[in-house]
Amino acid sequence: MRQSRRGQVDPFIVMDVMEAARKAEAEGRRIIHMEVGQPSTPAPQAARRALAAALDRPLGYTVALGLPELRRGIAGLYKRWYGLDLDPARVVVTPGSSGAFILAFSALFDAGERVALGEPGYPSYRQILRAMSLTPVGIPTRPQDRYQPRPDDLPTDAQGLILASPGNPSGTVLRREELAALTARAAELGMNVISDEIYHGLDYGAGFHSALEVTDEVFVINSFSKYFSMTGWRVGWMVVPDGMIRTVERIAQNMFICPPHASQVAALAALDCVDEAEANLAVYAENRRLMLERLPQMGFDRIAPPEGAFYIYADVSGLTTDSLSFAAEILEKAGVAVTPGLDFDPHRGARTLRFSYAAATAEIAEGLDRLAAFMAAR
Ligand SMILES: Cc1ncc(COP(=O)(O)O)c(C=O)c1O
């Protein structure tokens, strides 16, 4: 069968690493997972209970933009987190933030247009853009800028810009004034801005700011996947400017009909589960402390300041020029799965690795012991 050119996207390497780890586990090995970017905890208890109580209801289609009470609840989160009064009409519930990207790109760009993004960055931005006949334009960022773009780095010939704070893989956070400067420069250049805020809530003292604090002319994307520990539930959201609501609604009606109803019921209850979410955060904070104490001792000492999310991005150019085979060697010899930087940066990622510390603390501690033994024997 003839295949489309736009369908020829690159694999998501971390998914391939997960598959290699799964095979090793099927052969009876115990693998420590530092590759996956997801909590190992279940959805908050009240979320699971809310779903259980709803199971005898029809759980049919909802309206395309999501349950009105959930949209109101999400708007309330903007008050809680940022002190913003957000009109719930601007909140669009989506099938994960991944679904939000598809809606945003469809609403904002025409085929052939160019969308800029920082490198290193979340790999699927680039691949979703390509699958939609859009052209990703990488902005190489610098370690001294915490791997975030500067306003004068923005290309003058692109129609869009994706910002991410905290970033994946870097974990670094854009300050409020940096968000203001970047969005102002993008507006000067006529670029539509999409701000990926999926790791908000997961910060270790640096705080976090929404692009909505500095402009309403932005698509803000977030999700229940990370802070609320609900990756597999596939429920996220997007905040759009007033004038875009109807356009996004029409696309959402046709592309998805609605986000999963069952997950929306659970997500609504999750919004109130602050204690559980904060308990998970305390675990990540301890994991992060262990990582920052021990990784440099074993030679992984060139790392981006991990201000948020649950990742450490390490420059391993002193150790290898081939992060793919280095990660494969670590999996083979240490039984620790880590992600090669090539997933995040097609140019410089052969010299970087990402370590995730989203697992339980005992797992992270054992992973660090194994990594230390591996590095000592090298
Ligand atoms: C930066 C970033 N954005 C978006 C996503 C997609 O998340 P989801 O579709 O589960 O909301 C991820 C997943 O790891 C991510 O790291």
pLDDT of residue 271: 98
98 within 8 A of 236, measured Cβ to Cβ: yes
Range list of β-strands (E), the chain: 32-33, 91-94, 114-119, 135-140, 160-164, 192-196, 219-223, 236-239, 311-315, 336-337, 339-340, 352-356
Instruction: State the closest ligand 1 atom to the C-alpha of 235, by its place in the atom list counted from 1.
Output: 11
For residue 116, list its beta bridge partners.
137, 161
CB of 109 within 8 A of CB of 160? yes
Q: Whose CA is nearest to atom 14 of ligand 1?
A: 37
pLDDT digits (tens, 9 = 90+) for 304-350: 889 999 999 999 999 999 999 999 999 999 999 999 999 899 999 99
3-state secondary structure 86-130: CCHHHEEEECHHHHHHHHHHHHHCCCCCEEEEEECCCHHHHHHHH
Specify the residue with its C-alpha closest to ligand 1, atom 7. Answer: 97
Pick the CATH number of 56-272 from 3.40.50.300, 3.40.50.450, 3.30.1360.120, 3.40.640.10: 3.40.640.10
Question: 198 CA distance to ligand 1 centroid (A)?
Answer: 6
CA dihedral (29, 35, 38, 40) in degrees, to 10, reads 30
Instruction: Tell me the one-letter amino acid at 100.
Output: A
Distance 97 CA to ligand 1 centre (A): 6
CA of residue 98 to ligand 1 center, whole Å: 6
Q: How many CA atoms lie within 13 A of 284 on its CB side?
A: 33
How far apart are alpha carbons 279 and 281 in whole angstroms? 5
* pLDDT score recorded for residue 160: 98
CATH topology of domain 13-42+275-377: Aspartate Aminotransferase; domain 2 (3.40.640)
> What is the average pLDDT across 129-143?
97
Atom of ligand 1 nearest to the CA of 95: 9
* Residues shown for the chain: 378
Pocket test for ligand 1, best of 17, 74, 102, 168 (most atoms within 8 A of CB): 168
Measured between alpha carbons, how far is residue 297 from residues 290, 337, 375 in Å? Answer: 11, 19, 10
| 56 Cα to the center of ligand 1, angstroms | 31
Which tokens in the block code for residue 313? 């991005």
b/e string for 343-357 if b means 16 or more Cβ within 10 A?
bbbbebbbbbbbbbb
Reading phi first (left if > 0) and then psi (alpha if -120 to 50, else beta), residue 250 is in alpha
Query: Please, are residues 277 and 44 in contact by the beta-carbon 8 Å criterion?
Result: yes
Give residue-wise pLDDT tens across range 47-86. 999 999 999 999 999 999 999 999 999 999 999 999 999 9
Query: How far does residue 65's CA lie from ligand 1's centre (Å)?
Result: 20
Span 194-233, pLDDT tens digits: 999 999 999 999 899 999 999 999 999 999 999 999 999 9
**Domain spans in the chain, listed from the N-terminal domain onward:** 13-42+275-377, 56-272
| Mean pLDDT, range 4-33, rounded to an integer | 91
| Best probe residue, ligand 1, of 128, 163, 225, 345 (max atoms within 8 Å of C-beta) | 225
Using the mean position of ligand 1's atoms as its centre, give its distance from the Cα of residue 375 in Å: 31
pLDDT at 103: 98
Give residue 140 CA to ligand 1 midpoint distance, Å.
21
Q: Which pLDDT band, with edges at 50, 70 and 90, does 12 fall under? A: confident
What confidence tens digit (pLDDT) does each residue in 15-26 have? 888 899 999 999
Is residue 11's pLDDT more than 90?
Answer: no
Distances in Å between the Cα of 22 and the Cα atoms of 18, 236, 308, 341 are 6, 27, 28, 20
**Ligand 1 centroid – CA 216 distance (Å):** 22
Centroid of ligand 1 to alpha carbon of 126 (angstroms): 13
Among protein residues, the one with the nearest Cα to ligand 1's atom 4 is: 97
Q: Which helix (H) or strand (E) holds 327?
A: helix 323-334
Could you check whether 13-42+275-377 and 56-272 share the same CATH topology? yes
Note the pLDDT of residue 129. Answer: 98
| Pocket residue to mutate for ligand 1, from 36, 97, 148, 173, most atoms within 8 A of Cβ | 97
Question: Of all atoms in ligand 1, which is nearest to the CA of residue 234?
Answer: 10
Residue type at 368 in one-letter notation: L
Render pLDDT for 267-294 as a digit per residue (tens, 0 to 9): 999 999 999 999 999 999 999 999 999 9
Q: Using most ligand atoms within 8 A of CB, pick from 35, 36, 98 the residue to mutate for ligand 1.
A: 98
Ligand 1 atom with the shortest distance to the CA of 199: 1
Query: Which pLDDT tens digit goes with each residue over 80-127?
Result: 999 999 999 999 999 999 999 999 999 999 999 999 999 999 999 999
**Which residue type occupies 46?**
A
Residue 296: DSSP 8-state? G
| pLDDT one-digit tens code per residue, 225-270 | 999 999 999 999 999 999 999 999 999 999 999 999 999 999 999 9
Give the span between the Cα atoms of 340 and 299, in whole angstroms. Answer: 17
Residues near ligand 1 (Cβ within 6 A): 37, 96-98, 122, 164, 168, 196, 198, 223, 225, 231, 236
pLDDT at 15: 84
Residue 309: left (phi > 0), alpha (psi -120 to 50), or beta? left
C-alpha 313/C-alpha 286 separation (Å) is 17
CA distances from 244 to 78, 89, 104, 142 (A): 19, 11, 10, 34
Q: Which two structure tokens, joined as six digits, stand for 209?
A: 């700011």
What pLDDT score was predicted for residue 68?
98
- Scored b (16 or more CB within 10 A) or e, 200-225 reads bbbbbebebbbbbebbeebbbbbbbb
